[in-house]
Copies of this chain bind each other. A is one copy, B any other.
Amino acid sequence: MSVTIAAIGEHALIERLRQKVGLVPPYVVLGIGDDAAVVTPERGTVDVLTTDCLVEGIHFRRDWTAAADIGYKALSVNLSDLAAMGATPRACLLGLVLPPSLPLADFDELVDGFAALARASGAVLVGGNLTRSPGPVVIDVTAIGAARRRRLLRRDTARPGDELYVSGAIGGAAAGLAWLGSGTGRSDLDALALAAVARYERPLARCRLGSAVARSGSVVAAIDLSDGLASAARTMAAASGVGVVVEGEAIPVDPGARHWAARAALDAVLFALEGGEDYELAFAVRPRLRSRFLAAAARSRGLAVTRVGRFVPEPGAWLERQGSKGDLPSGFRHF
């Protein structure tokens, strides 16, 4: 039988976590090990704070996804929220709710996946807590970033006439989830399907893009695509008191989403629009700032931004296809 986390105990687990933190920058006054962590704020910036969790059975299945990927994603979804505010990651807290029977090897892998992204992103792991779970694994993360107050990317400041842009390609993560749920074994998946699964399991938060366009001053509003493009566009418009028209033909549908949609006989554009978890960013850009926005975005090597719609005066959300306008799908709901 494999060694469980209960067998080695809380202190040893915290010690294992601490060893994965890596280099601690001078702004971290106190990291793991005291009642609370202490971080010196960056002069001239505001603190940007977000928390999100992954719950076994809701966001992941341990029999589908490797523990390292689960740990990675738990941080990535939080970094995506910082990216959507135009903030640069500085620190994070990791709360693990774990069944005592969890194999120690799974703990180590999960923490490795998390800590590798923490080091790579600059979100230094400074604290957290370990709690016994009566069943599901819950990974709760808080991420802290810094941004200039005047460069914050809110979601409620889009205006009629602004253009809607999206980063990357859309629908890949939803296709990956669909493949995982299809019962097809990984060894039977082709390259496009495997790429889609990777999009779902290891989403890349767009931190560099978010802070680059924030610093450029060209973006007037932004949101991340955790719940999909349809939901993001709808939410930005509603929060801003305006309407939005998404242009169906313009949507950069991920090849993996087209692939799955073809197999499942679904409309690829609707599938991509409604699919969650891409963790791309959506932006509202004033036409007169467009070239500045595109120049800033171009500095995020390899990541395209695409104009996919426009904000309009009348509140509401529409999808325009072949010249005719219908309601925009409502997207993913958590409850």
A133 and B334 alpha carbons, distance in the complex (Å): 10
**Per a CB cutoff under 8 Å, which of B13, B138, B142 touches A138?**
B138
Pair A51/B152 contact, Cβ less than 8 Å: no
A116 at the A/B interface (Cβ < 8 Å)?
no
Interface mask (A80-118 → B, CB under 8 Å = 1, otherwise 0):
111011010001010101001000000000000000000
Q: A326 contacts the other chain (Cβ, under 8 Å)?
A: no
- Contact check: which of B6, B37, B50, B95 meets A37 at CB < 8 Å? B50
Any B CB within 8 A of the CB of A228: no
Name which of A39-47, A196-204, A266-274, A288-296 contacts chain B: A39-47
Return A191 CB to nearest CB of chain B, in Å. 33
A47-72 CB contact bits vs B (8 Å, 1 = yes)? 11111110111110000000000000
Q: Once the chains bind, are A224 and B35 in contact (CB under 8 Å)? A: yes
Question: Which of B36, B37, B58 has a CB less than 8 Å from the CB of A134?
Answer: B58
**Cβ contact within 8 Å between B132 and A334:** yes
Could you say which residues of chain B place their CB within 8 Å of the CB of A310?
none
Most chain B beta carbons < 10 A, residue from A36, A37, A58, A134? A36
Once A41-B41, A126-B49 are accepted as A-B contacts, the answer to whether A93 and B142 lie under 8 Å apart by CB is: yes
Query: Chain B's nearest CB lies how many Å from the CB of A111?
Result: 15
Give the chain B neighbours of A53 by CB distance below 8 A.
Answer: 95, 97, 129, 131, 138, 140
Give the CA-CA distance A147 to B41 in the complex, in Å.
12
Q: Tell me, yes or no, whether A302 is within 8 Å of chain B by CB.
A: no
Considering only residues 132-164 of chain A, those with a C-beta below 8 Å from chain B are 132-136, 138, 140, 142, 144-145, 147, 149, 152, 154-156
Q: Knowing A95-B140, A142-B142 are in contact, say whether A58-B333 is a contact too (CB < 8 A).
A: no
Known contacts A38-B48, A142-B142; decide if A29 and B131 are in contact (CB<8 Å).
Answer: no
Q: Cα distance A330–B318 when bound, in Å?
A: 63
Residues from chain B with Cβ under 8 Å of A55 in the complex: 97, 131-134, 138
Q: Does residue A309 face the partner (Cβ distance < 8 Å to B)?
A: no
Contacts of A10 in B (CB 8 A): 333-335
Q: Which 8 A-B pairs have the closest CB atoms?
A: A36-B50, A57-B134, A41-B41, A35-B84, A35-B81, A142-B142, A140-B140, A51-B93
Contacts beyond the supplied A33-B239, A38-B85, A51-B140: 20 A-B pairs with Cβ under 8 Å:
A6-B335, A35-B82, A35-B85, A35-B155, A35-B224, A36-B84, A40-B47, A41-B41, A41-B46, A49-B91, A49-B93, A49-B144, A53-B140, A55-B138, A56-B134, A57-B135, A58-B133, A131-B334, A133-B136, A140-B140
Query: Residues on A close to B: CB < 8 A?
Result: 5-6, 9-10, 13, 29-30, 33-41, 46-53, 55-59, 80-82, 84-85, 87, 91, 93, 95, 97, 100, 126-136, 138, 140, 142, 144-145, 147, 149, 152, 154-156, 222-224, 239, 333-335
